[in-house]
Amino acid sequence: MLRQGLMLRQSLKAVNGLRGGRQSTVLQYACSFASGTSWVPKEEERLKKVTTQALIHEVASEQMNGVQETVPWFLSSMPSAYFRTVSDDLRKTHLKAITALRALGQKDLSLKIENKIDDNLTDITIMQTTPKTGLLLSQLKSINAPPDSTLSSIRINSSADGDLALNIFSYEKKHVQNESATLADGQKIMAHIESLKSSGGIPPESLHMFSEESLSEYFSRCAKTYVSSCLPERFITQREMFEKVRGTDGTEVHFESHKSHSHDSAAWITIAAGDVQPDELLRTAASVLAPKDIDIYRAHLDTIRDDAKSTEDMSPTAFVTMIRLLVSPDPAKLSTDKSNSNFNEIMTGMRRAKWLDDDVIRLGLVDYPEIGLEKAEIILALCSMLHSPLSKLNPYAFASVKSVTQCLGDRSMYMTHAASIAELFMDKFRPEGNTITPSEFAAKAKALKDIFSQLQNQEARTVLLKMLEATEATLRTNLYLPNRYALSMRIDPTVMAVHPPSAAAPTPFGVIFAYGKRFDAFHCRFRDIARGGLRVVTPNNADQLALESSRHFDEVYGLSLAQQLKNKDIPEGGSKGVILVNNAGLDPSHKQFTVRSAVKAFTDSLLDLITKDGLKGQVDYYKKEELVYLGPDEQIIPDDIQWIVDRAAVRGYPTPAACMSSKKGAGFNHKEFGVTSEGVCVYLGVALEKSLGINPHVDPFTVKITGGPDGDVAGNLIAFLYRDYPNTAKVLGVADGSGVCEDLNGIDRDELLRLVRESLPIIAFDKSKLSSKGLLMDVNTPEGLLRRNTMHFVMKTDAFVPSGGRPNTINNDNWRQFLDSEGKPSSPLIVEGANLFLTKEAREQLYKHGGVQIIKDSSANKCGVITSSAEIAASMLLSREEFLEIKPELVKDVLTRLRYLAAMEAELLFREFANYPGNLPHFSERISGAINKVTDAVTDALAEVNPGDPLFDELLPLIKENLPEKLAEVAWNRVPERFPVQYQRNAIASTLASKLVYQEGIHLVEAQPIERLAARAIMYYRESQSIEKLAAELETAEWSGMDEKKKALVVKLIKKGGARSSLEVF
């Protein structure tokens, strides 16, 4: 009974200490009595009343004693910053809670108090008795932010005796701006600055930041509470740091040792970072410090508006985040060696906190602290890069990147071996004359190989040997660039091969890999100067991530090879970039930000390897200039495009406007002008007539489409179908990421076009517009998901145009679903608007068993890359103002050329198909192969031919033929100066190759010996020039005794076959 009474009194003291506050926390205390009855006799009301009064008096007295003890302790133990930054009301709430916690007299107690300040601001206070190192990190991982809110500030406070940690996390509703500060709020700061000015304490180069006008403008960017409570010294430091990172994605770190009464060794670390999630930055910084047994005793987090990056919705990217940490012990005093390695590693971690992946911190500081961050990053980068080829060797042992690293973690010896590879990697690229010689590298590599070859564990042996091979194959890296956003490597492509190269699977020209915060990325290209889209893949769970990772390089290889075939008409070879973002377990509100950060990190790390700015002072085993041109693909948004162009300019990329295509202003936005869909429509029209005997201008025809009305290719395809064939085209089915719409009577045209205009997905379709034979299903239901995933297989239409969807959607395992029980295809014609929607095997099987005519992607959707190439050329030749001035005429010329090149190839494709055995994809590949064969041969032949040489000048007019007419008119004379010489060689070669093949067909080229192909192609150009002159003379000459029809026929025959006949090589 006595014990029960004591328990109840203790509980009452705690509860009473918390009552009266505005907090929403509820403490529940349960007492279980063996007797099952109250300890107060129910039948004695008087005794109950007396006992109640006595208990109230006792608890109140004890609580008063507790308050009398706690208040002086509170006032003397809490830091002065706490009293400056915390309101009176909140301090009272804290004091009540602290009194209750101290009254309980127990260690390791935690209490959370949530205060809703107003509709937009919520403070969450977490108190912890007897705090331990890493407390802040654990709180950041466990705290749940209020809905639709982001961390806006944090105040970390510890009592002087170390008995209590009191951390306040302030969350603001997104898209809400705090009340800005004014000069009146910063009077103390301004007075201090004036004092420094008078004593010469502010350097002359910094004075402009501290004028009254400048300070007033800066205060307006800051929250009122920040300016009014900030110490002047801290304000000056952070003002200078802000100026260094404003308008950028950079990070600045300031360090100063600090003398503290409560800590023998302490330091302040200040981090300023633009375009970052504040809670992520703080969590990563804490993650770097905790494994070093460095505790955070005080912290301030503030955000300062950055107009250079501000957006209408005031997203996190519109702010510079300032974090100031009081840590102990002082990191500068941790290292015992002369290199001060511990301190350097911590500072590196702070500087790269924004870009550092959690797995790197875990491996290099927690699981294997002897390895460190740099080696851990190299190990994880190599494992991630090699996952794809390793999974082909053993799909079970190497099912995910995690399983690859686990092979090394099974025994510490294996991880030690991996660290030796990382050290060799570092030695190979160590700058400042410390790089090991090639012979030293070879000797060390051989010694490691001998050790690894003797390992009994087959999986560990395989991984280590492959990592060593990758280290040998790395030609460039940005490892030693201090401000890199990710770790990137330019590698010999052969290291990624599983099988020997072949005609069907050639070795790429170059591969770049990047490993960064929550992403891996490959860029693959098949020619020295290349262009292709950059896409983002975002699996939402760990299993899907493992699957996408295993086929990551396969996807980028396949897409870039398809791009190489597609780029046959332009100077640039084929390339592709694929960024695989790890969204698994990520807060949904952070997903878009993570994707945008991954795009930036990959692009910047790519620029590290191809710009003079990035390569300066770095060890380079490749030693050649590289030009890479990018374009937008899946999940790349206009903001990404502009950022890439701007960043390329900052990094010194030649003609930065040419680095990224589809720019909104001085560019040809693919979606705005529907350039890819223009070509798809041309092919669809030709194919309907040639394959199915349907004249689309006269005969009704039906279509099904994958890809939504809000998509580039699908949306514009829908619009162009109704533009070109308003009385005959009928769309029966549309499926996209949101759902599926089907209507056997034809989906309502006006409603579809509304979705296109408003850029809405198919699920936004108005159901009332469906006929009795229509349906609309959401992908978020099991039935809708199944219907969406099978529509393209089962719906009967004349043509199927995949205009969106993942690569290999129709493959060797499921192609039979496209045929009904009688073997008839659901659509006898497929025009591939989307890349790699069908695998090579699926195309062959559908033609063989269903007679399906398929226009391959490298032919059907090539017009997008032709447009991007024209934009690259215009960006090199014109200023932004010049571009915008003639943009309407440029667009008109580009669209005209697109339709011309699409029609030229379509006519050749069906001509070859009609006259020789094989399916359409077979001839599509042969056309691309023939053009590329000539291009490569001529390019190689011109390798030592330079501007000014007779041959170069003779062939130079070919470049003009490939330019939009208006561009050639305005800027043709700038080509020799502004086009890189190698680009000119490529442009000459590709234009000549296209002319030859489209005019003469594939067989002439395929019959030529490779060693004579370039010479004969140049001969063909000369003969064709002569024939053109001859034909022009004949057209104007007087032919006695011959009527005009016969004359025209003679001229036509001469134009058609004159150049080929003159060659006498067939």
Angle at 980 between CA 1013 and CA 486, to 5 degrees: 110
Tokens coding 589: 């509100």
> If we measure between CA atoms, which residue out of 474, 357, 465, 477 comes closest to residue 417?
465
What is the distance between the alpha carbons of residues 589 and 770, in angstroms, rounded to a whole number? Answer: 35
Beta-strand runs (E) in 441-564: 474-477, 487-491, 510-516, 519-525, 529-537
Query: Would strands 487-491 and 474-477 be described as parallel, antiparallel, or unpaired?
Result: antiparallel
Q: Are 498 and 389 in contact (CB under 8 A)?
A: yes
Q: Are 803 and 831 in contact (CB under 8 A)?
A: no
> If we measure between CA atoms, which residue out of 597, 608, 640, 647 comes closest to residue 354?
597
What DSSP character marks residue 819? B
Q: Is 576 a catalytic residue?
A: yes
Q: How far lies 43's CA from each of 2, 37, 46, 47, 720, in Å?
A: 20, 12, 9, 9, 89
- The CA radius of gyration of the chain, in Å to the nearest whole number, is 35
What is the distance between the alpha carbons of residues 688 and 693, in angstroms, rounded to a whole number? Answer: 6
Tokens coding 679: 């070509």
Q: What angle, 0 to 180 degrees and rounded to 10, lies between the N-to-C axes of helices 552-566 and 920-941?
A: 80
What is the distance between the alpha carbons of residues 684 and 691, in angstroms, rounded to a whole number? Answer: 10
How many CB atoms sit inside 10 A of residue 677's CB?
29
SS3 865: helix
Q: How far lies 549's CA from each of 579, 835, 928, in Å?
A: 10, 19, 30
Provide DSSP, 382-417: HHHHHHHHHHHH-TTTTSSHHHHHHHHHSSHHHHHH
What DSSP character marks residue 825? B
What is the distance between the alpha carbons of residues 44 and 40, in angstroms, rounded to a whole number? Answer: 8
Q: Which amino acid is at 637?
A: I
How many CB atoms sit inside 10 A of residue 687's CB?
24
Q: Are 1029 and 1051 in contact (CB under 8 A)?
A: no
Sign of CA dihedral 647, 649, 651, 654: positive
What DSSP character marks residue 181? P
How many CB atoms sit inside 10 A of residue 1030's CB?
14
Q: Are 619 and 475 in contact (CB under 8 A)?
A: no
Q: Which position among 568, 576, 671, 933 bears the catalytic label?
A: 576
Q: Are 576 and 523 in contact (CB under 8 A)?
A: yes
What is the distance between the alpha carbons of residues 513 and 522, in angstroms, rounded to a whole number? Answer: 5
Strand partners for 153: 170
Tokens coding 190: 């301004």
Q: Are 555 and 578 in contact (CB under 8 A)?
A: yes
Q: Are 524 and 505 in contact (CB under 8 A)?
A: no
> If we measure between CA atoms, which residue out of 743, 816, 425, 476 comes closest to residue 614?
476
Tokens coding 3: 């014990």
Provide DSSP, 528-542: SEEEEEEEEE--SSH
Residues sharing a CB contact under 8 Å with residue 650, sequence separation 6 or more, in sequence order: none
For the stretch 154-168, what's the b/e string if a residue is b when 16 or more beta carbons lie within 10 angstroms of its beta carbon?
bbbbbbbeebbbbbb
What is the distance between the alpha carbons of residues 153 and 799, in angstroms, rounded to a whole number? Answer: 57
Catalytically active residues are 576
